[in-house]
Amino acid sequence: MDTIAGKKSGLTIAVNLTVAALVLIWLIPTIGLLVSSFRDRDQISATGWWLAPLPVELTFRIRPAGDGAREEGGLHVLEGNVFAQPETARRFPEGRGEVTGFGVRARLPAEFAPGTEAELPRGGAVAIDADGAFRITQDEAFGPRGPTLYFEARTPPRFTLENYRTVLLADGMGRAFINTLTVTIPATVIPILIAAFAAYALAWMDFVGRGVLIAAVVGLLVVPLQLALVPLLSLHQQVGIGQSFLGIWLAHTGFGMPLAIYLLRNYMVGLPRDIIESARVDGATDFQIFTRIILPLSFPALAAFAIFQFLWVWNDLLVAKVFLPSATDTRVMTVTIADDLLGSRGGDWEILAAAAFVSIAVPLVVFFTLQRYLVRGLLAGSVK
């Protein structure tokens, strides 16, 4: 015998390792996004998220005040520390760090090694030590501000909650959260109710054209929703609902119906026939069978579709942009994040990362609450 009871075969171990590797690969982008959401913009631009625990070499520009200069041997001398300047105080709150290079031109900010002396473009010389101490000498007196200096320094890893404060305290974010719930909950419940009736009819009621309807539902699963956006919006304008909450509810209902009917029908058709036939013998109507037998037994499939529909509607941007007005009081979270936060801060990747985790907080709660029904609902009808 190749296998013995109680022992796992080599194929089973290989499958488990493959699944674990796929899960890890799937989680890596999410982990990177989570780490980036706690970093600041400069460190994100300098290194990848996997180097977040390590120091980062960043470039700074300072222009020290010239009122502290003194005369020494016929020269005007200005001394200080680059880490104690107003431009760098936020990065180095303790006033100390490690300089890895300095320069006098923006295109070469680390041209000279620490401790060496460099000539200034307008005359004079400057030297910056590794501990940040600098000395500037020139023949002429300094004005209110000294010459512009550039240096590269090793900065410690910095994690902050400021990104989340920016997202959560943004103007209109609270209203956008309420609007998102207003759109998502009806757009999840309505297609479930309609699809449940349709799935029962396609599974247990005999009528002419049932096979054609099932084929049409399967065919609609592959139709891109982008093809229907403009015609559907024109129809909404003609019937008078235009860009409104009712319009987006109906749009999401229409786009979600094929998957809902297909999923629920496959589950309902696999329910025990004896129970339904016994109910009919006892005189139960189709509506009574549907409400008292089919719906309670179909809860795993209902929950599985509810997860998919809720996640899709909550994270939707395209349909919300098309079927909702552009006014601030009707924006959902995805539109608020895209237009208000990222629209004016296109390079703020830390804001994007934090906004992503803020927006998926509620879907995660829904998923983990109903995830035990997900597999049962998805496997409905696959095994007899």
* H-helix or E-strand spanning residue 352: helix 349-359
pLDDT digits (tens, 9 = 90+) for 293-333: 888 888 888 888 888 899 999 999 899 999 988 877 888 98
pLDDT digits (tens, 9 = 90+) for 118-165: 999 888 899 999 999 999 998 888 888 888 999 999 888 888 898 898
Q: Does pLDDT of 249 surpass 80?
A: yes
What residues contact residue 204 under an 8 Å CB cut-off, 6+ apart? 268, 269, 276, 286, 289, 294
Q: Give the Å distances, CA to CA, from 182 to 171, 316, 333, 346.
A: 19, 13, 11, 28
Sequential DSSP letters for 192-206:
HHHHHHHHHHHHH--
Q: Give the mean pLDDT of the chain.
A: 85
- What pLDDT is recorded for position 127? 93
Strands 149-155 and 98-103: antiparallel
37-49 mean pLDDT: 86
- What pLDDT is recorded for position 378? 58
Residue whose C-alpha is closest to residue 343's, from 164, 193, 171: 171
Q: Does pLDDT of 205 surpass 90?
A: no
User: 98: left (phi > 0), else alpha (psi -120 to 50), else beta?
Assistant: beta
- What pLDDT is recorded for position 188? 93
- What pLDDT is recorded for position 381? 47
Percent of the chain exceeding pLDDT 70 equals 93
* Rounded distance between C-alpha atoms, residue 163 and residue 351, angstroms: 6
Domain 164-378 CATH assignment equals 1.10.3720.10:
yes
pTM here is: 0.73
Beta strands in the chain (DSSP E): 56-62, 70-72, 75-81, 98-103, 117-119, 125-128, 133-138, 149-155
Percent of the chain exceeding pLDDT 90 equals 23
* Rounded distance between C-alpha atoms, residue 308 and residue 311, angstroms: 5
* Rounded distance between C-alpha atoms, residue 348 and residue 45, angstroms: 10
